[in-house]
């Protein structure tokens, strides 16, 4: 586990040496500087987990340095140090975003408690942000295939062994990964998901390992990578079969050594991360075609888990429809709809090539587009009550889904004024995924 990188700012050499010694002994990496100007420069070129900042400094003082850090968008925790703390100073510090105070002369135990509390507070805030953005994972179903899948999850979750999840697109591989994390000893630490197929090859290394400002064109600020963000927790690499061979080699090194170097940096970062991967490809075929490293597969495939497609668990379809209706109702405040027995039979008989994801998309369309409180067979196949071509023929579920997606995605982009970042957030997609979705649906981005 990485203990963290701490910046210490004080104009007294004795204080710098004292704090550096204490923190080094605790396993932290430490950088020391003597002025507020040097502190701002250090934060601009390196990533820190915490700043210990003296208030009384030559040049700009600690309060002004803190204000400039926040104005520049840096949200890292800052603990102020002062030998002359007053109530007025404390109010100013809190107003500018300080997390805590240390008073001189410094007491060893007080310093360590304050540092660990500040780092724990930062991790908790990050975890809470992630939890607000994600619904709790649910593996819905009573079929024998799902019962067996649950058994495998509960056996694998408490271990630190790597898991390779396979299965068709839309079957719920990320749900399985989240459940493995939720039932592990790392459940209180971050779960970080990366879709390797959704990130351009030239950016995947920066996404995984982070970079320093100026490392490449467009690197305008320091950035932590997903491995570092997931420290102590779980990193889920989805669509691992789409990762380039060069990046595979670097991931293999991290798995072997638990350390890496950010792009543009020289300092090694140590991490303790459980890696879970997923793929819809046959990786043995990818190895035979020289597109995937066999030694990486050996590292990843410690525990293989196969997620069944809906064609192997048709009896779960009504339960999935009910669950997705409840989820949609919670998010939007609308009332869940009923589903007629005839419609249920049609849903159970359908092939569901898009698996669970297709069920979710269909339910969302029905909740939005069907005005009645009961879903009927006609509602399943018709868009807004009209029949295509005027020949009385129903459209297929796939055609209805594609038509709904085209209308819905187009409307969201339009209502967001063509702002693709905002539209991606509304739709719950990565920005790059949204661009691919628009191309697949024959829509233009503004």
Model confidence pLDDT, tens digit, residues 6-45: 999 999 999 999 999 999 998 899 999 999 999 999 988 8
- Do residue 104 and residue 153 come from a single domain? no
- Do residue 260 and residue 361 come from a single domain? no
- Do residue 203 and residue 270 come from a single domain? yes
**Which CATH number do you get for residue 428?**
1.10.10.60
**Residue after which a domain boundary falls, among 250, 275, 308:** 308
- Do residue 322 and residue 251 come from a single domain? no
Q: What is the pLDDT of residue 92?
A: 74
User: What is the rounded average pLDDT of the residues 220-244?
Assistant: 93
Highest mean pLDDT among 128-142, 217-231, 242-256: 242-256
User: What is the rounded average pLDDT of the residues 363-370?
Assistant: 90
DSSP codes joined into one string, 349-395: HS--TTHHHHHHHHHHHHHHH--SSEE-HHHHH-BTTB-GGGS-PPP
Would 138 be classed as within a structural domain? no
* Four-residue CA torsion sign, 195, 197, 200, 201: positive
In angstroms, rounded to a whole number, what is the distance separating the alpha carbons of residues 311 and 149?
15
In angstroms, rounded to a whole number, what is the distance separating the alpha carbons of residues 324 and 401?
16
Kindly tell me if the per-residue pLDDT of 330 is higher than 80. yes
Report residue 355 CA to chain centroid gap: 23
Comparing 26-30, 135-139, 230-234, 248-252, which segment has the lowest mean pLDDT? Answer: 135-139
Q: What is the pLDDT of residue 127?
A: 65
Highest mean pLDDT among 78-92, 242-256, 344-358, 365-379: 242-256
Max Cα-Cα span within the chain: 88
- Do residue 282 and residue 324 come from a single domain? no
- Do residue 149 and residue 69 come from a single domain? no
- Do residue 302 and residue 260 come from a single domain? yes
In angstroms, rounded to a whole number, what is the distance separating the alpha carbons of residues 157 and 128?
22
**Residue after which a domain boundary falls, among 293, 308, 323:** 308
- Do residue 170 and residue 67 come from a single domain? no
Q: What is the pLDDT of residue 219?
A: 79
Model confidence pLDDT, tens digit, residues 193-213: 999 998 888 889 999 999 988
Q: Position of tokens 């509390």? A: 117
**Which CATH number do you get for residue 328?**
1.10.8.60
Residue 376 half-sphere exposure, CB side, CA atoms within 13 Å? Answer: 6
Q: Do residues 213 and 46 lie in contact, with contact meaning Cβ atoms separated by under 8 Å?
A: no
Structural domain total, the chain: 4
Kindly tell me if the per-residue pLDDT of 250 is higher than 80. yes
Report residue 158 CA to chain centroid gap: 21
Would 266 be classed as within a structural domain? yes
Model confidence pLDDT, tens digit, residues 150-172: 999 999 999 999 999 999 999 99
Would 137 be classed as within a structural domain? no
- Do residue 84 and residue 219 come from a single domain? no
User: What is the rounded average pLDDT of the residues 327-339?
Assistant: 87
Picking from 217, 38, 22, the residue whose alpha carbon sits closest to that of residue 108 is: 22
Q: What is the pLDDT of residue 446?
A: 56
Model confidence pLDDT, tens digit, residues 54-109: 998 999 999 999 988 888 778 889 999 987 766 677 677 777 788 888 888 888 88
**Which CATH number do you get for residue 63?**
3.40.50.2300
How would residue 436 be classed by pLDDT, with cut points 50, 70 and 90?
A: confident
Q: Do residues 99 and 79 lie in contact, with contact meaning Cβ atoms separated by under 8 Å?
A: yes
Kindly tell me if the per-residue pLDDT of 184 is higher than 50. yes
Burial (0-12, 13-18, 19+ Cβ within 10 Å), 136: exposed
Q: If you ran DSSP here, which 8-state letter would residue 31 be given? A: E
User: What is the rounded average pLDDT of the residues 399-421?
Assistant: 75
- Do residue 153 and residue 120 come from a single domain? no
Q: What is the pLDDT of residue 401?
A: 65
- Do residue 240 and residue 273 come from a single domain? yes
Q: What is the pLDDT of residue 390?
A: 33
Q: When comparing pLDDT for 246 and 371, which is higher?
A: 246
**Which residue stretches of 283-375 are H helix?**
283-288, 294-300, 317-332, 341-349, 355-369
**Residue after which a domain boundary falls, among 332, 364, 381:** 381
Would 320 be classed as within a structural domain? yes
Would 425 be classed as within a structural domain? yes
User: What is the rounded average pLDDT of the residues 278-284?
Assistant: 95
- Do residue 49 and residue 82 come from a single domain? yes
Range(s) of the domain holding residue 50: 5-132
How would residue 334 be classed by pLDDT, with cut points 50, 70 and 90?
A: confident
Kindly tell me if the per-residue pLDDT of 139 is higher than 50. yes
Tokens for 121, please give them.
Answer: 């507070």
Model confidence pLDDT, tens digit, residues 100-134: 888 888 888 889 999 998 888 887 776 665 555 55
Q: Do residues 259 and 268 lie in contact, with contact meaning Cβ atoms separated by under 8 Å?
A: yes
Q: What is the pLDDT of residue 129?
A: 59
Supply angle C-alpha 201, 134, 415, rounded to 5. 75
Strands 374-375, 338-339: pairing kind:
parallel
pLDDT, the chain, mean: 86
In angstroms, rounded to a whole number, what is the distance separating the alpha carbons of residues 246 and 278?
19
Q: Position of tokens 């997606």? A: 405
In angstroms, rounded to a whole number, what is the distance separating the alpha carbons of residues 290 and 67?
53
Model confidence pLDDT, tens digit, residues 338-362: 999 888 988 988 889 899 999 999 9
The shares of helix, strand and coil residues in the chain, as percent rounded to the nearest 5, are 50, 15, 35
Would 288 be classed as within a structural domain? yes
* Four-residue CA torsion sign, 264, 268, 270, 274: positive
Picking from 55, 59, 27, 15, the residue whose alpha carbon sits closest to that of residue 41 is: 59
Name the E strands within 239-340.
259-261, 268-270, 274-279, 303-306, 338-339
Kindly tell me if the per-residue pLDDT of 395 is higher than 60. no
Q: What is the pLDDT of residue 120?
A: 84
Would 16 be classed as within a structural domain? yes
To the nearest whole percent, how much of the chain has pLDDT over 90? 51
In angstroms, rounded to a whole number, what is the distance separating the alpha carbons of residues 169 and 178?
17
pTM given for the model: 0.65
Peptide bond into 105 cis (omega under 30): yes
In angstroms, rounded to a whole number, what is the distance separating the alpha carbons of residues 103 and 83?
5
């Amino acid at each position: 586990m990485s203990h963290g990188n701490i910046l210490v700012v004080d104009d007294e050499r004795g204080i710098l040496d004292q704090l550096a010694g204490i923190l080094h002994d605790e396993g932290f990496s430490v950088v020391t500087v003597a002025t507020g100007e040097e502190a701002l420069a250090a934060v601009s070129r390196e990533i820190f987990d915490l700043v210990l900042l003296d208030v009384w400094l030559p040049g700009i003082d600690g309060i002004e340095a803190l204000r400039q850090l926040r104005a520049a968008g840096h949200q890292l925790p800052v603990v102020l140090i002062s030998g002359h703390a007053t109530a007025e100073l404390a109010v100013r510090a809190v107003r500018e975003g300080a997390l805590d105070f240390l008073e001189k002369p410094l007491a060893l135990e007080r310093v360590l408690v304050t540092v660990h509390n500040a780092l724990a507070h930062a991790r908790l805030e990050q975890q809470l942000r992630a939890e607000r953005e994600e619904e709790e994972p649910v593996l819905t179903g009573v079929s024998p295939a799902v019962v067996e899948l649950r058994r495998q999850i509960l056996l694998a979750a408490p271990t630190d062994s790597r898991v390779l999840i396979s299965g068709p697109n839309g079957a719920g591989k990320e749900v399985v990964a989240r459940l493995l994390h939720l039932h592990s000893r790392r459940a209180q630490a971050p779960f970080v998901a990366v879709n390797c197929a959704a990130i351009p090859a030239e950016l995947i290394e920066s996404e995984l390992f982070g970079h320093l400002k100026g490392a490449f064109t467009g690197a305008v600020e320091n950035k932590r990578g997903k491995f570092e963000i997931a420290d102590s927790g779980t990193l889920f690499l989805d669509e691992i079969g789409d990762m380039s061979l060069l990046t595979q080699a670097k991931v293999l090194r991290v798995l072997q050594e638990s350390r890496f170097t950010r792009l543009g940096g020289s300092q090694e970062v140590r991490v303790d991360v459980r890696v879970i991967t997923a793929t819809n490809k046959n990786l043995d075929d990818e190895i035979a075609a020289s597109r995937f490293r066999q030694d990486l597969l050996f590292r990843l495939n410690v525990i293989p888990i196969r997620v069944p497609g809906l064609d192997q668990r048709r009896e779960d379809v009504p339960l999935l429809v009910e669950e997705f209706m409840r989820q949609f109702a919670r998010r939007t405040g609308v009332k869940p709809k009923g589903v007629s027995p005839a419609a249920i039979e049609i849903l159970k008989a359908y092939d569901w090539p898009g698996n669970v994801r297709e069920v979710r998309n269909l339910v969302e369309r029905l909740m939005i587009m069907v005005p009645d409180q009961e879903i009927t067979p006609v509602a399943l196949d018709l868009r807004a009550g009209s029949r295509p071509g005027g020949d009385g023929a129903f459209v297929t579920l796939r055609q209805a889904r594609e038509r709904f997606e085209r209308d819905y995605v187009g409307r969201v982009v339009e209502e967001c004024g063509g702002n693709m970042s905002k539209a991606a957030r509304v739709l719950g997609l990565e920005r790059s995924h949204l661009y691919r979705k628009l191309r697949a649906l024959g829509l233009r981005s503004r």
